[in-house]
Every structure is written in C-alpha cells, then in structure tokens.
Amino acid sequence: MKQLSGWMILMLLNVTAYAQYSISGTVRNGNEAVHNASVTLQPSAQRKLSNDNGFFRFGNLAAGTYSITVTTEGFKAYQQEVTVFNKNIVLDISLLKQDIQLDTLRVTGAANYAVAGKLRDVEGTSIYAGKKTEVILLRNVNANLATNNTRQIYARVPGLNIWEYDRGGLQLGIGGRGLSPDRSSNFNIRQDGYDISADALGYPESYYTPSAEALDRIEIIRGAASLQYGPQFGGLVNFVMKEGPKDKPFEFTTRQTLGSFGLFNSFNSIGGTTAKNKLNYYAFYQYKKGDNWRPNSHYDQHNAYVHLAGNITPKLKITGEYTFMSYLAQQPGGLTDAQFEEDPSVSVRARNWFRVNWNLASLILDYSFSEQTKLNWRTYTLQGGRDALGILSYINRPDPGTERDFMSDDYSNYASELRLIHRYKLVKENRSTFLVGVRAYKGLTDRKQGNANDKSDADFTFLGPEPDKSSYEFPGYNFAAFAENIFQVNPYWTVTPGIRFEHINTKAEGYYYKQNIFIPNEKINETKENPRSFTLLGIGTAWKFPNGIELYANISQNYRSINFNDIRVLNVNARVDPNLKDETGYNIDAGFRGNYRGWLYVDASVFYLKYNDRIGSIFTRDTSFMTFRYRTNVSDSRNLGMELLLEGDVIKALSSHNSKYRLNLYTNLSLIDARYVNTQNTAIADKLVENVPPVLFRTGLSFGTPKFNLTYQFACQSKQYSDATNAESTPTAVDGAIPAFSVMDLSLSYNWRQFTLYTGLNNLTDERYFTRRADGYPGPGILPSDARNWYVTLQFKL
C-alpha cells in the first residue's frame, strides 16, 4: 500500500510539472494603464509589450519559479519573482515615475487623467512657456474614432465652437474664442509639425483631416502660437501621428467598424523598430464608406500613411513621411428654416458632389550638437486638389435642372523650416532657453469656376474649351524669421519674449467673366500683386509654485492677410467687397493650471482678443430686393471671455489607497462676449459677432478599470448668429439664428487579451439641431447635424 501511495504522489508531481499555466497582469501608474511597457519573463527570456489597456500575458508555462521585469521610458524598473504551482497567476503591477528630463511629451497629471494635459515649457525645438496649451491623448479617448467624432475628441478643450455636419469625419471645422470654425481656417493646422491646409497664405482651409485611429495626440496652442507658427489669430493645432513601438520589431493592428447608415471602416496598421534601434517604421491603410441619415449623402474615402525614422548616427536622425487621402462624397445640400422644422431628414439637392485628393510628403532632420543645442529642419510639400460640383442657387427654390456650377482647385505648395534651440545658464543654476528659426514658403492655387453638365452623376468636367466664369492662378510667397527666449529668472519664474518678422507677397493672374443680362458676358483679364512686410511682438510669463500650480499670462500680436481667391468666387448667395483689407489685432491670456492633491487637474483662464477690420458677413438686399450675404471688413471686434477645465478622479479623492477602479469627472465651460465695436453702422454696432455661442458647456463621466470603460458625455451651447446684423431668419436660410441645443453620447469599451471592443450611441436622445448655415458648398442653407447613430469597433493587436 505504501508503494502504491508513493507511485501516486510521484505521478501527481509529474503531472503538475507538465501542466500548462499562464502569468498575466496589468501595468499601471496609479489608476492609468501604461501601454507599450516591456515585460520580460526569465529564465525563458520571453518578452511582451503591454497593450493600450496595460495588459500582458505569458501562456503555456510549466510549474516553477519565474522572474518578471517591467521597464518603460519615464518609469522606474519593476521586478518580481512569481512561483507557479497549481493555478494561473494574475498580477497587478504599479510603476513609479522616474524623475528625469525627457524631450518627449510630458502631460500634467497623466497618471490620473484620461485625456487632459498641457505641453512642457520646452518640447523638442519648440517653446511653450507662459502659453495656453492643451494636449489630447487619443489612446485614452473613448469615442467613435472611426468617424473622427469631433464633439467627443475635443470634449475637454474649452472655448471650441464645432461645426457638426460631416457624418464621416472627412473634414474638421473648429474655431476657438469666437473665431469661425469654417474648415478650421483660423488655426494653423499641422501634422507632425508641417502644414497640411490647402494654402497657408492664400487659402488656409483644411480639406484633409488625419485619421483619429492613427493619432498619438493632438497639441493645441492658442493665439500666442503666432510667434512660432504664423501670424493667425487662432493659434496652432498639431496632429502628432503614431510611431512604431520602440522595443518591438513588428506590431500589427486591425480595427473593423460597423455603424448606422451603412458605415463601414477598415483601419489596418503595422509598425516596429528594427534591431539596434536603427529604423522605426509605421504605416496604415484605411478605407471608409457610408451615408448620412439624409439621402444623397454617400461617401467613400481612402487614406494611407508611411513613416520611416532612421538613427543615422547617435546625433543625427532623419524622418520621412508620406500621406495620401482621397474621397468622393455626395452632398445632400441645405434646408430652409421651414424645411428643417418640418423634416430635417429630407434632401432637396441630388446633384451635388465633392471630391478631394491629397498628397503630403515631408523630410525631417534632427541633429543634436549636444544636450543643450539641437537643430530641426523640416521640408515638405502638398500636391492636392478639391472639386465642388452642384447647384448653388437659393435653397428656397427647387433645383432648376439646369447646368451645374463647377469649382476646381489644384494646390502645389513647398516649404522649408529651420529651427535651432539652445539651453544656457543665465542666473546661477537656472537654465534659460533660446530659440531661433526661419521659414520659406511657396504656395500656388490654380482655381477655375464654370458650368458643368446638367446630369446627376459626379462628372467633374467643364463645358466648353475653358471655364466660363473664372480661371486664376494665385501664387504666394512667404519668408519668416522668428525668435523666442525663456529667461529663467529663478527656479519658479520665467519670462518669455518673442518676435516674428513676416514678408508676404500674394499674386493673382487670370480672368473672370462679368455677368450681364441683355448682352453677352464680358471677359476681363486681371493681374494683381500685394507685397507686405510686418513684425509681430509678444511676451509671456509664468510662475510655478512648489505644489504644482502654475500662474501664466501672455500677450501676442496677430495678423490675417486677405487673399485674392476670397474675392474672385461667383456665388449668387454671397458677394464680396473688392476692397477687402488685411486684419490685425492681438491676443491676451491669463490663467492658472495644475494638479490639486494628485486627483484634480484645473486649467482656468481669461482672454481678450482684439480684431481690427474684421472680415464678416452682413445680411443685405440688392436692387431687386433679393437678400444675400455681403462679405466685407465689417468693423473692429473684441472677444472677452473665460475658459475652465476641471477633471479629476472621484474615487481617488475619496479613497486613501490606490484602486483598480476609476471614476473620472470632467467639466468644460467657456463664456464669451464677442461684439462689434468702433463702427458708425447702426445695423451692426454692439451686435454679437457671428459664429460665437456665448456659452459652451461640456461635461462627462467615465467609469472603468484597465480593461473596461463606460463614458457618458453631455454637451450644450447657447444661441448664436451666422451674420453680423444678427438676423433671426432670411428667406434663403443663408443667414439667421442658430438655436441653442444639447446632445449626449454614450461609449463603452472592453479589452480581453489582444482584443478590444468599442461601441456606443452618439446623440443619445436623437436631438434635432444644426450648427451651421452655409452660403455655398455643402449647402446653401441649414446643414442638419447627425441624428442618433451607433457604432461597433473590434480591434485586434498582435
């Protein structure tokens, strides 16, 4: 009997030794998941990377003792011994921050907050000390990324007016602090530091929006960004694309999305870093198609991107990027006020089409002379175009069935920007920073407008041998030089003055046809040139307290040049003053930001934006009593307001120990009073500036663990107007009030090993609302926003 028992014990030990077990776990910093952490298992020398939710897993393990080591940039190394005997092991690993200075992004409160943050004083070869900056971390946004849902992605950025009419997320329309959201033209829009708009000088509108699924983060710098990134009033929006993982030779990600109204999105990417960290690569291809909730609204989009970054020497790094995007979209057109009230889902235009083709290429050189001195040289080009085809006649009249209007643009832009940054000691051990840079830019817009056929298909062809309305080339040349210096007066106080010199020369050469009634139209040839030079000044200051709170303030001059292609567009709904002149002004910021007791992030600020000779729209009538929008230098305006962001972890505030659960609550509020001043025109004196909701409020609640997240979001904004006279309504619906509205979203995500499921309902209560009245494409008239819609995304990462 004893011999039998011995045999049974021996067999049990033998089975145990050969049983298959696993070690899995989640890597966190506080309540925040740490992604792409390197997890090494010894003695088998296996290595895994934690996924976006911080999860990792080693399978098929025999019983025994193992050593787990976790390392990632910016955190102290973690090591633990684990004994596996008769069950699977699940670990909860908490990393501690390493107090080192990095040249990569550092987000205030990143350990506690899902999205909110700011840029450091110095990032790479850029200076942000004393400026109003915001950062959106896309990996932590629980939203419909397949459609670039702007309302969700920018939910924590106060003061943004968002145009919501593009179901597929093909174009971005945001404006800050009372500036028009029209294709984000008041911001300098960049991708990885280089321009992506149509023509930074002559036509600064964005027809290409990077896929949110490919973004690492979005950086926003308000008006004071003019000293480094151009003279515009809005500031900078910089889309930072993902790179391949630094410690993994190959990674594959696929995201497949289905949704309401025929939405299908397929996003597939690869990335990694070759041996010895010589080459980092990342590439993706995206195909997206769908419809709106209104008829005549189908779209197809293709988007591709390649990033290659090579460390040629320990000091020299060269990065090459190429982006391709094209789409064809049918546009359902606008509605009158009566049509919107009766049924906003209808479409009264079936022959309107829009096509975009975008090609971006860049070459970026980074050279480190030393830890204190670095050089960045960016050279890039845009080769692209957009075509708009359809009926621009008043929306209160039926489609006449006649020949359609066709506008075709081709863009050919080249630019090069050189930056040098140097850190030096000015007072004792306080390190100051000097930045100097130059930029050369050449843009060319080739614009044609004329009649096309009277059919319904997407036939982008002019009738006749040449366009019968206008044909122009708009070349533009720009040279700029800028400098800023952070004077570190003491460990807490910085003063940052800056200067920018601009030389701009915009030209126009071509012809237009003067429209006559009883005699043939007259062809008029035209050549114009408008050179000008100016200097912008600014200064910022900040005081950082030992508890992490920072006081900051800045003032910066701004400038916006008119462009000829604003003048030479024929549109029955709108007319342009031929004597438009450039706009000037300045931005003032003051505020405080920082962490409160490790669980609450606060950013509260006030601003004043002065806009001289502001170009706006006046609702007026011609001699035939037909109403139209007249675009002119309306008068001066001033925008005064406050912005507030609060975001914190409620569970951490109520608990003295770390919890795997988190309950994040955020509130985003802006109050803006924007009015026309210094004018003798009683029709607009003291009237509200158009496209400025006086109140913008967004709030949300997010509950979850590293594997699970449920997010609720509420957004509302007050009544605004679409023209400077504050007209309540017009027969053509081009001008009028934009009523107040509120809208809710609900999003859910769940991660299991390499799989993550995302789903949600946008416009939860099926609110009927609109944010824009258009005078041309994609209207004219009221453009209804999306009805209630759902989406489901399944992600697999290998």
Q: What's the pLDDT tens digit per position in 391-406?
A: 988 898 889 999 999 9
Question: Which domains occur in the chain, in start order?
Answer: 2-94 (2.60.40.10), 238-797 (2.40.170.20)
Percent of the chain exceeding pLDDT 90 equals 61
Phi, psi of 138, rounded to the nearest 5 degrees: -65, -30
Residues composing the chain: 798
**Phi, psi dihedral angles at 516 (to 5 degrees):** -115, 165
Non-local (6+) Cβ contacts of 798 within 8 A are 251, 252, 253, 754
Segment 422-456, tens digit of pLDDT: 999 877 767 899 999 999 999 999 999 999 999 99
The residue behind tokens 């909730």 is 293
User: Three-state SS for 653?
Assistant: helix
Q: Which residue has the higher pLDDT, 228 or 38?
A: 228
For position 485, what pLDDT does the model report? 96
DSSP 691: T
The 3-state DSSP class for residue 605 equals strand
Which single residue is written with the structure tokens 């530091």? 193
Per residue in 620-661, pLDDT tens? Answer: 766 655 666 677 888 899 999 999 999 998 888 887 677 788
Integer Cα distance of 685 and 496 in angstroms? 37
Tell me which residue of 416, 384, 386, 390 sits closest to 403, measured CA to CA. 390
Considering only 266-275, 332-341, 501-510, 518-527, which range has the smallest mean pLDDT? Answer: 518-527
Euclidean distance between CA atoms 120 and 776, whole angstroms: 41
For residues 50 and 70, give the distance between their C-alpha atoms in angstroms, rounded to a whole number.
Answer: 10
> 672-710 pLDDT, tens per residue?
999 999 888 888 888 999 999 999 999 999 998 888 999
The C-alpha atoms of residue 697 and residue 714 are separated, in whole angstroms, by 8
* Secondary structure of residue 589 in the 3-state scheme: strand
Contact by Cβ (8 Å): 150, 141: no
Give tens-digit pLDDT for 263-302: 999 999 999 998 777 899 999 999 999 998 999 999 999 9
- 689 token code pair: 């500036």
Return the pLDDT at 4. 42
CA end-to-end distance (rounded Å), the chain: 53
Confidence band for 112, pLDDT divided at 50, 70 and 90: very low
Residues 390, 403 contacting (CB under 8 angstroms): no
Residue 584's CB: how many other CB atoms inside 10 A? 20
Q: Whole-angstrom Cα distance, residue 167 to residue 174?
A: 15
Please give the residue that has the higher pLDDT: either 663 or 521: 663
- Buried-exposed string 59-90: b where 16+ CB fall within 10 A, e elsewhere: eebebeebebebebeebeebeeebebeeeebe
702-721 tens-digit pLDDT: 998 888 999 999 999 999 99
Res 109 pLDDT > 60? no
CA-wise closest residue to 126 among 363, 542, 420: 420
Tokens found for residue 686: 């003291």
E-state strands within 517-582: 522-544, 550-560, 574-576
| Top-ranked range on mean pLDDT: pick from 55-69, 91-105, 121-135 | 121-135
Tokens of 72: 């990632």
How many alpha carbons fall within 13 Å on the CB side of residue 219? 25
Cβ-proximal residues to 493 (8 Å cutoff; 6+ apart), any chain: 541, 542, 543, 544
Could you tell me which of 364, 357, 371 has the C-alpha nearest to residue 329? Answer: 357
